[in-house]
């Protein structure tokens, strides 16, 4: 069930009033919201509900055992059981075929004729997101930074429909305390919620879907059939498409949760305005960045120890982060590109720290603009491997861009609409936060009728500008 569809609108129009009617009856509300969330999740394939239920039961048992055990060895053993169970389920559904096919190819190169039967399992939507949330829950319980909650509260946390499919990755400490708050529908910031929902809808339908349908999907399907200019613009268009698609989903998820009385953490903050890759990862998919930092990079040693150990930890974190996105070596290369450039940035910072008397040139607006431009090029280079289905596809994109023989060809797909959509996706990230706050404030001061008229007109414009149909969100694949 996609957010920008009539079916979801009907679903939410039923869930919203019933949720508030039952809010003061905690147990009944929990049962209702779990049922609604499982209906939403099972709308894609009802069989995946058993996987979500199994994850809930197993992780709750593990958390309770970790919490009740006084022996450190026993606690560590239960944590290991939980991590193995979570990664085992994720590996089977997402990586089994990838690992087996690569092992088979390796054996074939060694002259060993191994031909195992590859069992193809449908990839459950959102498995990476709710698995990471479950793992953070049991790890926090193990660290004694969070105590396990009741089973039904945990079931609400793991299955809550606004974030179950594509995040943001909400930690238990961010969500579960809200279940115990007294919620008052009169105190809900509905103006901000509707503003976010519309912004997300516009980014998804008008920008992401338009760029995907009119340029990106066509060019990446066969780069050799297009001019160098079309391929280059398609790469930039994909950078905007994936931002508009994913941040649009996040905006809608945050807005929907807000209408239900819950606050989600911010997930995007103008990532293409970043002046370094470190800055980029503080702004892009922020909940995943923090998860990888707190549960992988820092436990590996983080920036402690020798410099080469820091570079090792960065590379491991981003290679695994790339693999988290999909069972393909192209995702690993995407993570490797980010890891290499982040390691270079750390090297430069360490070098400057050793030369404290070295005078840096003054930081001007031009220098900041050049840094932003350079970082955007690095990010777009990595996006080529993220978007390409195969290494050959990525190689075709790169060779066509740098082939001077095809720069003189026509570029009929590079239309004014495409360039305008790319520009809109970029400029949106440069809008000052206080300007957005003023716009939200002005919208909130309108009467309910006025807000309804504004939203109705905005939806009409959005529907007329976007292509027919609603493509699935890109991060549904992950």
Q: pLDDT (tens digit, 9 = 90+) per residue, 412-422?
A: 999 999 999 99
* Total residue count of the chain as it appears in this document: 478
Residue 117, pLDDT score:
59
369 — pLDDT class (breaks 50, 70, 90): very high
Residue 478, pLDDT score:
63
Residue 469, pLDDT score:
63
Residue 118, pLDDT score:
55
- Those residues whose C-beta lies under 8 Å from the C-beta of residue 156, and which sit 6 or more positions away, are 30, 33, 34, 37, 179
Is residue 376's pLDDT more than 70? yes
113 — pLDDT class (breaks 50, 70, 90): low
Q: What percent of the chain has pLDDT over 90?
A: 64
Peptide bond into 297 cis (omega under 30): no
Q: Mapping DSSP to helix (H, G, I), strand (E, B) and coil, where does residue 222 land?
A: coil
Residue 362, pLDDT score:
79
Residue 120, pLDDT score:
58
> Higher model confidence: residue 109 or residue 412?
412
Phi, psi (degrees; rounded to nearest 5) at 427? -65, -30
Mean pLDDT of 44-53: 90
Is residue 220's pLDDT more than 90? yes
Residue 358, pLDDT score:
62
Q: What percent of the chain has pLDDT over 70?
A: 92
Q: pLDDT for 253-300, tens place per residue?
A: 999 999 999 999 999 999 999 999 999 999 999 999 999 999 999 999
**Cβ(4)–Cβ(204) under 8 Å?**
yes
- Those residues whose C-beta lies under 8 Å from the C-beta of residue 24, and which sit 6 or more positions away, are none
Residue 103, pLDDT score:
67
Q: pLDDT for 380-410, tens place per residue?
A: 999 999 999 999 999 999 999 998 888 878 8
> Higher model confidence: residue 44 or residue 137?
137
- Is this prediction's pTM over 0.85? yes
Please classify residue 199 by burial: count the beta carbons closer than 10 Å to its beta carbon, then call 0-12 exposed, 13-18 middle and 19+ buried: buried
Q: pLDDT for 21-30, tens place per residue?
A: 999 899 999 9
56 — pLDDT class (breaks 50, 70, 90): very high
Catalytic residue among 226, 285, 325, 338: 325
Residue 58, pLDDT score:
97
Is residue 354's pLDDT more than 90? no
Q: pLDDT for 429-470, tens place per residue?
A: 998 888 888 888 888 777 777 877 887 777 777 766 666 666
Least confident interval from 112-116, 279-283, 296-300, 349-353:
112-116
Mean pLDDT of 326-331: 88
Q: Respond yes or no: is residue 325 known to be catalytic.
A: yes
Q: What is the mean pLDDT of the chain?
A: 89
Q: pLDDT for 142-193, tens place per residue?
A: 999 989 999 999 999 999 999 998 889 999 999 999 998 888 888 888 888 9
């Amino acid at each position: 069930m996609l957010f920008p569809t009539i079916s979801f609108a009907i679903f939410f129009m039923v869930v919203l009033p019933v949720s508030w009617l039952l809010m003061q009856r905690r147990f009944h509300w929990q049962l209702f919201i779990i049922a609604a969330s499982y209906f939403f999740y099972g709308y894609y394939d009802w069989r995946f509900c058993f996987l979500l239920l199994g994850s809930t039961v197993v992780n709750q048992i593990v958390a309770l055992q970790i919490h009740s055990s006084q022996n450190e060895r026993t606690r560590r053993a239960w944590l290991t059981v939980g991590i193995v169970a979570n990664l085992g389920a994720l590996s089977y559904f997402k990586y089994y075929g990838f690992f087996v096919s690569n092992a088979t190819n390796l054996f074939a190169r060694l002259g060993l004729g191994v031909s195992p039967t590859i069992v193809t399992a449908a990839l459950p939507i959102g498995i990476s997101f709710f698995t990471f949330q479950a793992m953070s829950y049991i790890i926090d319980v193990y660290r004694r930074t969070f105590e396990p909650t009741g089973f039904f509260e945990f079931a609400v946390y793991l299955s809550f429909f606004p974030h179950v499919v594509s995040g943001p990755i909400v930690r238990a400490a961010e969500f579960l305390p809200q279940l115990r708050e007294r919620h008052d529908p009169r105190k809900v910031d509905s103006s901000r919620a509707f503003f976010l929902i519309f912004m997300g809808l516009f980014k998804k339908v008008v920008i992401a879907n338009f760029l995907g349908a009119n340029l990106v999907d066509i060019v990446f399907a066969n780069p050799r059939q297009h001019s160098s200019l079309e391929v280059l613009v398609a790469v930039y268009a994909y950078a905007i498409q994936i931002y508009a698609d994913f941040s649009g989903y996040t905006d809608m998820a945050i807005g929907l949760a807000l209408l239900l009385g819950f606050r989600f953490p911010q997930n995007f903050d103008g990532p293409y305005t970043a002046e370094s890759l470190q800055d980029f990862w503080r702004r892009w998919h922020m909940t995943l960045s923090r998860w990888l930092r707190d549960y992988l990079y820092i436990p590996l040693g983080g920036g402690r120890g020798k410099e080469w150990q820091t570079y090792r930890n960065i590379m491991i974190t981003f290679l695994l982060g790339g693999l988290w996105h999909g069972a393909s070596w192209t995702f690993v290369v995407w993570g490797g590109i980010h890891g290499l450039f982040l390691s270079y940035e750390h090297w430069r910072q360490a070098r400057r720290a050793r030369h404290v008397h070295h005078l840096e040139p003054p930081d001007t607006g031009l220098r900041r603009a050049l840094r932003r431009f350079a970082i955007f090029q690095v990010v777009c280079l990595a996006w080529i491997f993220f978007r390409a289905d195969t290494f050959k596809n990525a190689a075709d994109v790169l060779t066509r861009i740098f082939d001077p023989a095809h720069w003189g060809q026509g570029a009929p797909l590079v239309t004014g609409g495409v360039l305008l959509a790319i520009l809109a996706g970029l400029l949106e990230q440069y809008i000052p936060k206080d300007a957005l706050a003023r716009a939200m404030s002005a919208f909130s001061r309108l009467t309910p009728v006025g807000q309804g008229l504004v939203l109705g007109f905005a939806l009409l414009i959005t529907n007329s500008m976007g292509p027919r149909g609603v493509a699935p969100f890109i991060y549904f694949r992950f």
